[in-house]
Structure 1
């Protein structure tokens, strides 16, 4: 289902997006060497509940997971890239962390992800991967707008990732959001320009370029949720929820502070 939001619901989408963005930035600031992933999950829970919102993950039970997820945020470290299940692990110097958060507030969902390295050890290869996903995300957002074909957005994202030398997996990618977290259309992280669904005002899209350093193959962890690179290489993930408006595109999950 592709859901088109009535313009009257856009302020609620903005509020949900601002909440997600600010929670992620707070969690990033609090995450350091020695921080436990379960503490990050607990902090996320507190901020979501205090805001009168709901996590989209706690009861999430899709066909590809061993549901329900049972936690409030996805915490993926190093070779883990998607759906990282929070567990008893203390972050180490140089760990590459990806946090993915989807929240529903007042009936509208916003979804965003950030990657960062903790501690003093900042491997250049890890920073380059994060930069590539952020640049690819910016390129996809720059192209998106009313009347644009979905393939143009995917092509813009994929061009940046390919030029940076990273393989691209198309099994998981961006998606529509609205009253629920995962909706049509699927937004692959590469595609052919001029093809696909034509974007309309009122459509909310979660664009999420993610990469693995030397492979496009995933393996599922023993927890039934966490997706890791098949080779054990490092990974990175960036995501924003955007709204297609009559005038262009609005980023809903940009940090407000």
Structure 2
């Protein structure tokens, strides 16, 4: 795991897979963020007895062990800064580094993490998220600045992808850009397996679906005569395929806006990725 600029595409993939295996990293970052950060993450080497301060990055121990200098040595995304700051009281440097105090602190081993992905705000900036290495260590570091840059890049890419998916569906070709910008933030990505019933005849759709990949079959339910043994015939409901929905097609708008039940059933024919906007969100934008 050399310098990021010198790593090959294969080495970046190895780093990405390694990061996914570290719970405290994987739980905080989306897959897109992990892939981007794997190209800038570095590995640092620290000798036994070194103090490593995590105020400017999030660290994961790859080899060796360390002890935290204080009870709170990491800050996860989503934690409330106010309550977090109250739990963390500054300690004199000489007190926090004494051997007796360190022995009481948590031992960090391979896979353990410390530090923060977001820079600490000014009100808690004096707090040091630090550890002391118990032996020579190899430690992976994600810089706060790299994380903030990647987060913005991924968010921008997501916004553009959502807007383009909506605009590419025929119903929305002539929509003003402002309307699409208002609708796109409500769109959530969903994956459905083949054979999944998305909406059933007689039901009001629970969402608008924008198909990004894969396709769906549309079925009508008709009464048909079915011949039974001994020549007896009975009428039964039978599903008949009447069409398909493909990439850059949408469904559910009329059902939600007019509050009318579907006259057909939509079932995924393949694995389908789509953008979904819940009915409540659609009605709230009207």
Bigger RCO of structures 1 and 2 (CA < 8 A, at least 6 apart): 1
User: Which range, TM-score by smaller chain?
Assistant: under 0.3
Larger gyration radius, structure 1 or structure 2: 2
- Structure-1-length-normalised TM-score: 0.21
Which structure: greater helix fraction?
Answer: 2
